[in-house]
Amino acid sequence: MNKIAFVLAASALSATAAFAEGEAPAADAAATEAAAPVVTDTDANGTFSLVEVQAVYTAVTEETFKAADTDASGELSAEELQAAVDAGTFVAA
């Protein structure tokens, strides 16, 4: 048990040192590189229109957009947009 606590404490200290030196941990750097592009809600209505999505995901067609719009509201919620990105339906060019 003491060995586990020591290993965890040593890991925490090395992570703190990396932050103090201005280095990002490797996991954070990889996540930043793999982050999906951001779709901007230009009209600030809380959902994403086809035009807003196409500004980033230029290959999205009306058909693929409608397929991602699971509640048939005509716009995508943040959850619907994320699901389409996660499924590989929306791929940034």
**What does the pLDDT look like over 33-73, one tens digit per residue?**
467 689 999 999 999 999 999 999 999 999 999 999 999 99
Same domain for 43 and 20 = no
Same domain for 59 and 17 = no
Let me know if 77 is exposed, middle or buried by CB neighbors in 10 A (0-12, 13-18, 19+). middle
Same domain for 55 and 16 = no
Same domain for 44 and 69 = yes
**pLDDT score of 16:** 43
Instruction: Look up the domain containing 40 and give its range.
Output: 36-93
Contact 56, 37 (CB under 8 A): yes
CA quadruple 47, 93, 55, 32: dihedral sign: positive
Residue 9 has pLDDT above 50, yes or no: no
Bridge partners (DSSP) of residue 48 are 76
Q: What is the pTM of this model?
A: 0.63
Higher pLDDT, 21 or 71: 71
Residue 4 has pLDDT above 50, yes or no: no
Same domain for 48 and 61 = yes
Range 61-88 average pLDDT: 97
Number of domains in the chain: 2
